Every structure is written in C-alpha cells, then in structure tokens.
Structure 1
C-alpha cells in the first residue's frame, strides 16, 4: 500500500495551518479528521471525510496550489 499525504496548506483556512500528515491511508484519514475537528472546528461527518479523502495524494506528489477552487475553506 502506498503512503498518502494530506497538507493543510492546500486548503484556505483561518488558522493559517501548515500541518502535513503522511502515512498509510487509514492512518492519515483518522489523523486528518481528528485535526479538522479539533483545530479547524469542523463537524465530523460524511462530507468532511469525503473532502479529506479527495485531498489525499501519494507521498511525494507536488502541491496542487491553494485548493480554493476545489474545496470550501476550513475555519
């Protein structure tokens, strides 16, 4: 299984968060959901999980820009 990465810099957020999470997909999903809820004030649910899952990329892939045109801003 390939390692995945989620990078908060790709989603506009009021916290100016720069966290990057890398690991196996299930590990990254758990950590990213916990982070989104505890730091960004998001509500855990299918929409949040789909948004996070869509933002995952293979480890080492280049950043996709700001992400503003793809996802709503996290708080």
Structure 2
C-alpha cells in the first residue's frame, strides 16, 4: 500500500480507476491554453515584422541615404 499524498509512480498507475489523486486538465482549460498560445504566436509574428522594418530603416539611414521612407504608389 502506498503512503497518502504521494504522487503515482507511473502514468499507468495514475490512470487506474481507484486513484482519486490524479488531476486532469479540463477541455475548457485546454482551450484556454491553446488560445493563449495562438495569441502569443500571432503577437510574436507582428513584433518580429515590426523589428525587421525598423532594422531596415536604420540600415538605410546609417548608409546616409535620403530616400529611406516608405514609397507610396499613387492609384
């Protein structure tokens, strides 16, 4: 018999029907985790793109060029 409060020795033991100590993440919890991960990835993508644009503008300015701004094409 194992002592009380001790975690299961293996994942197989945790899945046994008589073990009430095992905790599982609910479906709502999984959705929240994956939603947060998706938001973090999208924000990270936009941040990296902004940093690339800033780096390109700085490289242009350090090369002493005067036409470094964004070029707007008339329609």
User: What is the TM-score normalised by the length of structure 1?
Assistant: 0.24
Q: RCO greater where, 1 or 2, for CA within 8 Å and sep 6 or more?
A: 1
User: What is the TM-score normalised by the length of structure 2?
Assistant: 0.24
For the pair shown, the structure with the greater C-alpha radius of gyration is 2
Structure with bigger strand share is 1
